[in-house]
Structure 1
Amino acid sequence: MVVAPGSDITLSCSFHYSEADDPGRVVLTWHRGQEVVHSFYYGTDQLKEQSPAYRGRTQLFPEQVAVGNASLRLREVQGSDQGTYTCAVANEQGSSQRDLQILVAAEYEEPRLVINMSKHPGLVMLEYCAQGYPQATVLWLNQSGGDITERSHTSQWESRG
């Protein structure tokens, strides 16, 4: 799923349950690679081992765990949140896990290109302006379609505002 930086997202995850199951025996963990994103067991959040990168930004829906909903709310998504998340659940019905992919991206506006001719022969200054996330990949081609990126100098910077 694609999410814009700064927004909130709910990662959906469900598991098999029975009304006879003891909700206090559900062990639920969200992780990304080796990082613990959120843990829940003994009927409550267990955040002692939570990665500092997620502290204060995650939320389960505890009243929904008893009916098989292990979805996670992630607030204020950052570029560093991009990746594969795993929802792992164990209860009296067994264990299961599900992977979800997050891609952090924002819409791009139409790029703007400004051409400035230099006083030095053979030197042309091109200014390319694009907005969005992730940072654009710039490839320079000549009129024949040949790649001249290696023969050019390209600088990129982030503009705020």
Structure 2
Amino acid sequence: MPRKMFKLLPVVLLDIQLHLMTVDSQLNLKMLSILWKRISSKQEEKEVYKLHKGQEDLMQQDPDYRGRANLLHNELQMGCSALNLTNVKMTDAGSFLCVINYGEADYKYITLEVKAPYKRINVQKIRDPEEESLIFICQSEGYPLAEVSWHDRKNPNISMVANTTFELTNDGLFNITSILQVKQSISGNYTCVFWNKKLNENTSAHVSALQLDYVGESASVYEKKFLFLIIPICLLVSPFLAVVRKKSSTTLCSRRGNCRNVSHSSRANGADVSLEITSSPLI
């Protein structure tokens, strides 16, 4: 029976480089089995991906991951267990269980946390002649729930007169709408600010009371679309393992020898999403 040939370690946060040392050995794929599962808060399990004795086995793969999760076999040949998860959604957040069997078995629970910045603010401005007032509307989507504040030059914070509501979208994002109504005689420039405390990030939009139409005038005032993905990883057999970023696809990578860069940058359902990964100690 071969010696224990692998380690399970977390990948934490973005833009990191992790180097690991393991024992030397020739990898035998026919002895290798890998299983990824997602564990819900109700302890319900979804099979994400399964490799059994070197062969892909998708018979029990959950439909939610069908066509989205796969193991990069060319990386596996070089001693790298690389799980690729595409079209990442907010609902992918949660606990994952990774099990590797290679002569001996080991496993690890990893928590995947998804955060979506409020990168795009849609602005609508309306003049209400009956009320002799101006109405400003700011709307954006993100995660987790952001705080919205309003400012102008004369009043640093006029949020107390604003009405802010939110609802959850089908993708698990918070759709926030904030409405500010001021008297028509009070002209000037106004700023709505979305404060994402979890990401320590402010996104703002500026609206002017000048040149308002009687009907709603909409505009997208800020947009920056990036999707940064890094997913938890099982680090497999090899004399030298490294996890780094590469412009290709979202992967979980570990290998022996020289490790190429691994990362992913794309867009999912029009939402700006960044992933932060934390994990519990090895059990």
- TM-score scaled to structure 1, two decimals? 0.61
Residue aligned with 2:143, SS: coil
Q: CA deviation at 1:102?
A: 4.0
| Residue number in structure 2 paired with 1:50 | 61
Q: CA deviation at 1:74?
A: 0.9
Q: How many correspondences in the alignment?
A: 147
Matched AA of 1:133? G
- Tell me the percent identity: 16
| Residue number in structure 2 paired with 1:8 | none
Q: 2:93 aligns with which of 58, 82, 89?
A: 82
Q: Is 1:41 matched with 2:47?
A: no
Q: Is 1:24 matched with 2:26?
A: no
Q: CA deviation at 1:28?
A: 0.5
**Cα-Cα RMSD:** 4.3
Q: CA deviation at 1:19?
A: 3.0
Per-residue CA deviations over 1:121-147 (Å, capped at 9, x if unaligned) read 9x98541233x4338545579x88896
User: In 2, Cα distance between the equivalents of 1:112 and 1:102?
Assistant: 29
Matched AA of 1:80? T
Matched AA of 2:139? C
Residue aligned with 1:24, SS: helix
Residue aligned with 2:34, SS: strand
1:32–1:63 distance in 2 versus 1, CA, 3 Å = same
User: In 1, Cα distance between the equivalents of 2:114 and 2:89?
Assistant: 10
Conserved 8 A contact 2:38-2:95: yes
1:31–1:99 distance in 2 versus 1, CA, 3 Å = same
User: In 1, Cα distance between the equivalents of 2:129 and 2:23?
Assistant: 71
User: In 2, Cα distance between the equivalents of 1:17 and 1:24?
Assistant: 19
| Residue number in structure 1 paired with 2:137 | 127
Larger RCO: 1 or 2 (CA < 8 Å, sep 6+): 2
Conserved 8 A contact 1:140-1:148: no
Q: CA deviation at 1:114?
A: 3.8
Determine which structure has the larger strand proportion and give its number: 2
| Residue number in structure 2 paired with 1:7 | none
1:72–1:111 distance in 2 versus 1, CA, 3 Å = same
Q: CA deviation at 1:38?
A: 0.6
Q: CA deviation at 1:48?
A: 0.8
Determine which structure has the larger helix proportion and give its number: 1
Conserved 8 A contact 1:17-1:68: no
1:38–1:16 distance in 2 versus 1, CA, 3 Å = farther
Q: CA deviation at 1:94?
A: 4.0
- TM-score scaled to structure 2, two decimals? 0.39
Residue aligned with 2:119, SS: coil
Q: Is 1:103 matched with 2:114?
A: yes
User: In 2, Cα distance between the equivalents of 1:145 and 1:107?
Assistant: 21
